[in-house]
A and B are shown apart, each in its own frame.
Chain A
Amino acid sequence: MMRRHLPVLITLAVFIAGYLICLAQFPSFASTRVIGNLLTDNAFLGIVAVGMTFVILSGGIDLSVGSVIAFTGVFLAVSIERYGLNPYLAFVLIMGLAALFGAGMGFLIHTFQIPAFIVTLAGMFLARGMCFVLTTDSIPINAPAYGQITEIALRLPGGGRLTFIALIMLAVFGLGIVLAHFTRFGADVYALGGNRTSAELMGVPVGKTTVRIYMLSSFLAALAGIVFSFYTSAGYSLAATGVELDTIAAVVIGGTLLTGGSGTIIGTLIGVLIQGLIQTYITFEGTLSSWWTKIAIGALLFAFIVLQRGLSAASIRAR
């Protein structure tokens, strides 16, 4: 039992240690304002990361999410600002479109047995290219609905604000946990990542599950794109480049095995928060370049992958 949760516990320990270090240097880290911002700034990353966790748990990968976020932003900006579409209708449209897009990728991956890496790489270029077809400019979104939505927030004691988008992220994590651990779909995802052939022999609906996994990932990427557009109030073709890689990093740091079959949603949340923490620290520090975030995440990612290899080797030896 202990060994099973070890990766998550280590992630949690790293987060707590990191937080304490930040706190020692900058006492204001304890304020609800910093915590509220941490959640708000990383909301879109957290939402995509939930989808990515399912994908990686099933033994796959989804490289298209960053482009889907950008496409969502551009689509919203163009449809709302240029064509005067109702923002809420635009949200529904883009989420449906993204779900179809994901389902298509899942279908290709399953039916033709093409590696997910290739299919989603193609998806990544496709979605990014579609952004430029719509527009090459950065279009600000000034719809009143945007102003109203970004105003919604829970006031925390101490002056912090738990914004609507942070709440969306927390809700997505809550639903993700239920989906992963308390539904048949969740068990099927873990089964697929454990051993595809065995899963098939045991009667797991492999095709249906694969389609649903990528559908979920793209759907959540679109949701993240909506949240990202609240955050930036604009749609821009070059936005969110490399976010797919940040997301994969968060999932792996959160203790999910890249080979699939093992990991948790809650671990991913901590993984996202660790990334956010590093970012915040570097902002507070002031003298460090923001590239240090990447360097720190790179080092951490490397350490976690080595740790995972070590743990799985140890558990094989223990058998």
Chain B
Amino acid sequence: MQLKSEQPDLLEISGLTKGFPGVQALDHVDFTLRAGEIHGLLGENGAGKSTLIKVLTGVFRRDGGSICLDGQEIEARDPADALSLGIGTVYQEVNLLPNLSVAENLFIGRQPHRFGLVRTGEMRGRSSELLATYGLHINVADPLGSYSVAVQQIIAIARAVDLSAKVLILDEPTASLDAQEVETLFRILNDLKARGIGIVFVTHFLDQVYAVCDRITVLRNGRLVGSRPIAELPRIELVSMMLGRELAAEALHRNQRPAVTGNPMVAFKDYGKRRLVEPFDLEIRPGEVVGLAGLLGSGRTETAKLVFGIERAESGQAFVDGKPVRIASPRDASRLRFGFTPEDRKTEGIVAELSIRENIILALQAQRGWLHQIPRRKQDEIANRFIKLLDIRTPDAEKPIGLLSGGNQQKALLARWLATEPRFLILDEPTRGIDVGAHAEIIRLIERLCDDGLALLVISSELEEIASYSDRVVVLRDRKHVRELSGPEVNADTIMTTIASHQ
């Protein structure tokens, strides 16, 4: 526990517990925030950060534990109530109204008025003054939507603070800002800190954590890993807190395979998109597995989306078999015989209501066009072949896919692309949320596909796992491909130290 410090605790959360069916999202989490402190809240996907924030702001009700603000036990009913209690939240996706003017956004519900009429002049004057204290000089009569996300965020902060916020929660505020905008935001955060406001800062960018935070709290799998002052916390330790592994005494051996040689099947030169991922070079040969490693938000998924045409690249060129190609949409990618299984299986992968058979033939059918329907007998044959081949555990192919376990859904998604006989497969977190047995099977499957001569790009947060099957590993940090590891360098320790290092 924290020793008694010079500042009093503004917010004190202890033993906070929140469960959802099948998941313990928060398990006896403690968290303290002092006045005049910027406190980083860190953790990978599913660590419980968003649940903690949502309980704090009244979106969810807690199952147990206590939340004290200024020594008073509180329980917010909804975000508006939390705000009136003094807890303001600014999300990455700014939750203001783009169609209203800046001034109306700042004052809605509390517009100065006389005889029932809003005193627009006074409201605008006060808005201008308020924003001027944040170094923002804009026309407050213009609609909010005409300003950039960065400006909108500052307006959201100004609104939350002006509504008497003592605690300001910033949920990934920098995710869509450029370097200069981040700079401005940090200056504002430091000003607010000096005014005695407690700030909870959620981010994935380690550099930003070290630039602005006083203390950090790390969560993992719904549990508290620890709270530490940032000044005495080496990066490598922070990363190991987040990823949940200690530096191993000896490097783990990976499958010793000869280095894959030959001409790259797919290559990307100087490929990138502003605010998504910085331009990168990437080559993958047939029979090769390239791993993408990095913390959440480092640009792993963004790289996959660019490569598969979900996001359109602004710079660079893609090549297949050495010939330049255009990948402007997933349709283009699919035509080039690329395949992609997304990270979020439930919303981006499966169509839960459709049967396993329908899910498996989906990509193949889409490639052929809806006018050339695959005959039912052929559909059954394809579905049954893959159910057998990948050992998808189901009584029959007509069961809705939503009823299968995560591991079997993942296999069906793989089957969807394998049915199109792809040459290049992108797998984003193929083993997330899958039980141990299925986990091993998926990994064996990846290795088998690679032996069959497919080119594979695999994203995973599990360092051991990624080291075990990858021929090469590209490490990403802050939306940049920072280093490519190959040969004996492909081991979990080197990957972790590369993630933690900074130039």
* Contacts from A to B (Cβ < 8 Å): 1, 3-4, 178, 182-184, 186-188, 190-191, 193-195, 197-205, 261-262, 315, 319
Given A188-B109, A315-B146, 7 further pairs, Cβ under 8 A: A183-B116, A187-B104, A191-B108, A201-B79, A202-B105, A202-B108, A319-B148
B97 x A202 contact (CB < 8 A):
yes
Q: Which of B97, B118, B148 is in CB contact (< 8 Å) with A194?
A: B97
A202 x B80 contact (CB < 8 A):
yes
A198-B97 contact, Cβ under 8 Å, with A187-B104, A203-B83:
yes
Instruction: Please indicate the chain A residues that have their CB under 8 angstroms from the CB of B146 in the complex.
Output: 3, 315, 319
A191-B100 contact, Cβ under 8 Å, with A1-B142, A203-B80, A204-B109:
yes
B118 x A183 contact (CB < 8 A):
yes
Bound CA–CA A4/B99 (angstroms): 10
Cβ of B96 within 8 Å of any chain A Cβ, yes or no, is: yes
Shortest CB–CB separation between residue B418 and chain A, in angstroms?
38
Bound CA–CA A24/B148 (angstroms): 47
B95 x A187 contact (CB < 8 A):
no
Instruction: Please indicate the chain A residues that have their CB under 8 angstroms from the CB of B83 in the complex.
Output: 203
A4 x B143 contact (CB < 8 A):
yes
Instruction: Please indicate the chain B residues that have their CB under 8 angstroms from the CB of A3 in the complex.
Output: 146
Instruction: Please indicate the chain A residues that have their CB under 8 angstroms from the CB of B394 in the complex.
Output: none
Cβ of B32 within 8 Å of any chain A Cβ, yes or no, is: no
Q: Main secondary structure on chain A at its contact with chain B?
A: helix
B108 x A194 contact (CB < 8 A):
no
Closest residue of B by beta carbon distance from A192: B97
Bound CA–CA A183/B98 (angstroms): 19
Bound CA–CA A205/B79 (angstroms): 13
Cβ of B19 within 8 Å of any chain A Cβ, yes or no, is: no
Shortest CB–CB separation between residue A201 and chain B, in angstroms?
5
B100 x A184 contact (CB < 8 A):
no
* Contacts from B to A (Cβ < 8 Å): 79-80, 83, 95-100, 104-105, 108-109, 111, 113, 116-118, 120, 141-143, 145-146, 148
A187 x B80 contact (CB < 8 A):
no
Q: Which of B95, B105, B117, B142 is in CB contact (< 8 Å) with A183?
A: B117
Interchain residue pairs with CB less than 8 A apart (14):
A1-B141, A4-B143, A183-B113, A184-B108, A186-B118, A191-B97, A191-B108, A198-B97, A201-B79, A201-B80, A201-B95, A202-B105, A203-B108, A204-B108
Bound CA–CA A260/B95 (angstroms): 17
A193 x B99 contact (CB < 8 A):
yes
Bound CA–CA A261/B99 (angstroms): 6
Instruction: Please indicate the chain A residues that have their CB under 8 angstroms from the CB of B99 in the complex.
Output: 190, 193-194, 261-262
Q: Which of A182, A203, A261 is in CB contact (< 8 Å) with B120?
A: A182
Q: Which of B96, B117, B120 is in CB contact (< 8 Å) with A198?
A: B96
Ranked 9 nearest A-B pairs via Cβ: A194-B99, A261-B99, A194-B97, A203-B80, A198-B95, A203-B109, A182-B117, A201-B79, A201-B95
Shortest CB–CB separation between residue A204 and chain B, in angstroms?
6
Instruction: Please indicate the chain B residues that have their CB under 8 angstroms from the CB of A205 in the complex.
Output: 109
Bound CA–CA A199/B96 (angstroms): 7
A187 x B108 contact (CB < 8 A):
yes
Bound CA–CA A182/B145 (angstroms): 21
Bound CA–CA A193/B98 (angstroms): 11
Closest residue of A by beta carbon distance from B91: A201
Instruction: Please indicate the chain B residues that have their CB under 8 angstroms from the CB of A184 in the complex.
Output: 108-109, 111, 113, 118
Shortest CB–CB separation between residue A182 and chain B, in angstroms?
5
Bound CA–CA A179/B289 (angstroms): 64
Q: Which of B79, B99, B111 has the most CB of A within 10 A?
A: B99
Shortest CB–CB separation between residue B117 and chain A, in angstroms?
5
Shortest CB–CB separation between residue B145 and chain A, in angstroms?
7
A178-B117 contact, Cβ under 8 Å, with A187-B111, A191-B108, A319-B145:
yes
Shortest CB–CB separation between residue A318 and chain B, in angstroms?
8
A182 x B118 contact (CB < 8 A):
yes
Instruction: Please indicate the chain A residues that have their CB under 8 angstroms from the CB of B97 in the complex.
Output: 190-191, 194-195, 198-199, 202, 261
Instruction: Please indicate the chain B residues that have their CB under 8 angstroms from the CB of A182 in the complex.
Output: 117-118, 120
Instruction: Please indicate the chain A residues that have their CB under 8 angstroms from the CB of B111 in the complex.
Output: 184, 187
B95 x A197 contact (CB < 8 A):
yes
Shortest CB–CB separation between residue B172 and chain A, in angstroms?
17
Bound CA–CA A230/B108 (angstroms): 41
Bound CA–CA A105/B97 (angstroms): 26
Bound CA–CA A261/B101 (angstroms): 12
Q: Which of A193, A200, A202 has the most CB of B within 10 A?
A: A202
Bound CA–CA A204/B148 (angstroms): 24
Bound CA–CA A201/B84 (angstroms): 12
Shortest CB–CB separation between residue A47 and chain B, in angstroms?
22
Instruction: Please indicate the chain B residues that have their CB under 8 angstroms from the CB of A198 in the complex.
Output: 95-97
Instruction: Please indicate the chain B residues that have their CB under 8 angstroms from the CB of A191 in the complex.
Output: 97, 100, 104, 108
Bound CA–CA A190/B105 (angstroms): 11
B118 x A187 contact (CB < 8 A):
yes
Bound CA–CA A76/B141 (angstroms): 46
Shortest CB–CB separation between residue A3 and chain B, in angstroms?
8
